[in-house]
């Protein structure tokens, strides 16, 4: 650690969200780069990590837990790692500043409207979490009130007051989560104001974002990440592209301008619904999205003698399943572009793919989450002709 450096946030030790805040940003990048080389260097040259000019306040999605402290005062913030103790947070170095202000104002409004926060020990109370999403380009703001019950007696005056304080809010949703679970959002929703979604622009395309949509939280670096992935694919306009783990279609839609057709496959049906809407929103005629297992879809194509020319895969932190990797090897697209959020599981999956005949051509780390240990990586794999 730089002896002359002081971590800019006084909560970084108790919060646990920013594991690298004790390091100056250039040193954070060096540390992440060293890990990338240690895990992936055996596959080829690792390009210098792409960092941010301004690594602060980049998170356009903020989720705060609500509860009571030891003196029965309402607090909001982040769960301390490995516990259910809420570390009170009013402002955060990496969170959107407007979102933080909205959450603080909601906390102050609760007593005026006699709204109780949920108590995990007794199972009583109403408000559990508040989730705020803000469109980086559009400025549209979604507020999701996560409650233990759909009964909200002061709903209308509360929402009216919130909109008076924050006219930038474009939609408010009540999400009902009555289960004892670490998962924040429940399955039921009630619209309180606006359309229930927000829109944003990413890589020159518009995207509709719903409360449960997966949408990258750092829009500045997402453009870098997806731009890198699409450039690695070297599309000519003649390719059939498969976007595996497609979510709401962000990568596939970004790549659509250079492809003959894009097929997106995703298990989450709600995400597929958003992807279809996003293709329509952008007037795209060459994108098609379906709900299902991407590996099974590729195996079905292989049985029919059909194979995609390029596959984008952006799996969760656990990496790709063994079944998906086997399907990829059987389908044998000419190029695969792997977007990973964990270099450890990426290295494991690259072992399988290179043993199956693929060669790693390019490795590009991208710092999507400054001040944390996490790093994204884009890898290009090709099959010898």
Catalytic residue numbers read 341
Partner residues linked to 173 by β-bridges? 144, 191
* Cβ–Cβ < 8 Å for 57, 95: yes
Alpha-carbon distance of 153 to 283, in angstroms, equals 42
Place of tokens 């549209």: 140
385: tokens are 């002709």
Is 267 in a helix, a strand, or coil?
coil
Burial of 1 (0-12, 13-18, 19+ CB in 10 A): exposed
Alpha-carbon distance of 313 to 81, in angstroms, equals 30
The values of phi and psi at residue 71, to 5°, are -100, 15
Alpha-carbon distance of 110 to 2, in angstroms, equals 43
Alpha-carbon distance of 365 to 381, in angstroms, equals 15
Place of tokens 């409360």: 211
Partner residues linked to 207 by β-bridges? 200
* Cβ–Cβ < 8 Å for 40, 346: yes
Is 119 in a helix, a strand, or coil?
strand
Number of Cβ within a 10 Å radius of residue 264: 31
Chain center to CA of 33: 22
Strands 127-134 and 141-147: antiparallel
Contacts with 190 (C-beta within 8 Å, 6 or more apart), sequence order: 150, 173, 174, 176
């Amino acid at each position: 650690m730089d002896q002359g450096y002081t971590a800019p946030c006084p909560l970084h030790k108790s919060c646990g969200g920013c594991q690298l805040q004790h390091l100056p940003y250039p040193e954070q990048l060096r540390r992440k780069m060293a890990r990338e080389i240690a895990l992936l260097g055996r596959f080829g040259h690792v390009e210098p990590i792409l960092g941010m000019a301004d690594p602060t306040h980049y998170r356009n999605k903020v989720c705060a837990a609500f509860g009571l402290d030891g003196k029965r005062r309402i607090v909001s913030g982040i769960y301390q790692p490995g516990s259910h103790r809420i570390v009170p947070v009013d402002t955060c170095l990496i969170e959107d500043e407007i979102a933080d202000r909205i959450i603080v104002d909601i906390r102050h409004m609760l007593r005026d409207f006699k709204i109780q926060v949920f108590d995990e020990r007794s199972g009583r109370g109403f408000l559990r979490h508040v989730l705020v999403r803000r469109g980086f380009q559009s400025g549209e703001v979604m507020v999701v009130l996560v409650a233990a019950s759909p009964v909200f007696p002061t709903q209308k005056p509360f929402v009216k007051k919130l909109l008076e304080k924050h006219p930038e809010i474009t939609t408010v949703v009540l999400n009902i989560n009555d289960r004892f679970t670490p998962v924040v959002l429940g399955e039921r929703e009630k619209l309180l104001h606006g359309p229930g979604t927000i829109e944003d622009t990413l890589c020159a395309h518009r995207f509709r974002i719903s409360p449960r949509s997966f949408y990258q939280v750092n829009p500045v670096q997402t453009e870098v990440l997806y731009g890198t992935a699409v450039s690695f694919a070297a599309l000519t306009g003649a390719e059939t592209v498969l976007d595996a783990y497609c979510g709401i279609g962000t990568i596939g839609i970004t790549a659509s301008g250079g492809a003959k057709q894009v097929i997106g496959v995703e298990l989450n049906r709600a995400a597929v619904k958003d992807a279809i809407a996003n293709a329509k929103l952008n007037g795209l005629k060459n994108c098609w999205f379906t709900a299902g297992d991407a590996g099974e879809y590729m195996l079905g194509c292989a049985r029919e003698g059909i194979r995609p020319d390029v596959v984008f895969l952006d799996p969760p932190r656990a990496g790709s399943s063994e079944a998906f990797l086997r399907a990829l090897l059987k389908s044998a697209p000419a190029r695969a572009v792997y977007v990973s959020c964990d270099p450890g599981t990426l290295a494991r999956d690259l072992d399988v793919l290179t043993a199956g005949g693929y060669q790693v051509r390019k490795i590009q780390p991208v710092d999507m989450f400054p001040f944390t240990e996490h790093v994204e990586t884009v890898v290009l794999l090709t099959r010898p002709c």
